[in-house]
Structure 1
Amino acid sequence: MPPKGGNAKKEAGRAKKAENEGKKQAAVVADKERKEAATWDEGSKKSNAKVASAEEKRKADLARKQETARLLEAEESAAPSKKAPAPKAGQKKATAASKPAGPGALAAGGLASITAGASGSGSGGGSDQPETRADAPVESFSATGIDDALELLDVVTAKADKASVGQQAAGIERHPERRFKAAFEAYQERELPIAKKDHPGLRLQQYKDLLFKQFQKSPENPFNQVTVAYDASKEDKVSALENRNKQLEERLRERTQNLTLDD
């Protein structure tokens, strides 16, 4: 006997049910992607506001440092200079030592230059003190841009006593992995709208992968900043701070040499 028609109806009902389930799942996925995209758009607006606020704060800090440098220069120029004692008979007159640059050297806008000269001779002017040569080589540092200027200003004005160096070394990052996630999320919120304009048509996960690769080389990455081991000693922290300052000086010194060659 041929099979009854009831089985065919059941199969059709099952197929219809499976089709409806597939449509429901597709609708859920589409709704989830739409909500996620809306969340990213809202986050990008907040990120733009944060970036603008950070830029204003940085400009205010730079203006404050420039004003401090200007007041310091005015105070130094207004202070009465001591009259140099008359040289003794038969004693050579030492040439004036070049004045080392202070914080005021960075009061200029885009390009800041600092020249480090040799220290002046002693007050006694005895024969055992080396004479200052006018043609002695000096070191120059040049910082282009606000970020380099602020970093160089921190290096130049940093105090060299043990207490100040220890305080600066204590602030070195010992757990960059704890700040990595928050730093990457802030970077991602700020850079996602830019990535969408530069690379239109990609999926959201592709944008995330692209930004993650860029963040690996970004200075905002905590692992690209000055770090030490979690159990580092005080000497290790001071050594890391000194190495960071030396690297900054070498980079800005090379830039000065390149600018001189171009001229």
Structure 2
Amino acid sequence: MPKPKTENTKKVAGNAKKAEAAAAKQAVADAQKAKEEDAEWSKGAKSNNKKAAAEDKKASAAAAKAERDKLLAEEEANQPAKAKGAGKKVAEKKTRGTLDLSQLDGDSKEKTLNASGIENALDALDLTSGGSKGVDRHPERRFKAAYAAYEERRLPQIKNEHPGLRRNQQLSS
């Protein structure tokens, strides 16, 4: 009597696996085909694809921002506390100072000037000691007058110190 035929279990398992893979592949292909068909059918219909895409984009941006804020708050909470303003460096504006001439216009007996900086303090002293009635507020004219006064005061001294210099050499030294 011949032996009854038995099935090869490995072959059966392989065939089942192959069939399962083919079924999964067919399902993916069917889903793709259905998606393309839906897109084809929706072409003629009025759709809100752009609006929906914009809303999705806004929602994803808001979610990303919320996540960033959350991470930032978490990071700040984990850092050791610092005194406020301890690490800040503030850029200071360097100025030559200010000279406030508005007090000279008043009719008060007591005339005072507020000046910050050496240059402006010296200008204020010149203005108050000169006894001039009208103070010229225009800076170029003030500097021109101050230079002329300096030149007038210094030129005779330079002539005595360096008698062989020409006038333009005396002015430049």
With normalisation by structure 1, the TM-score equals 0.15
Q: Determine which structure has more spread, i.e. the larger CA radius of gyration.
A: 2
TM normalised by structure 2 equals 0.23
Ranked by relative contact order (alpha carbons within 8 Å, sequence separation 6 or more), the top structure is: 1
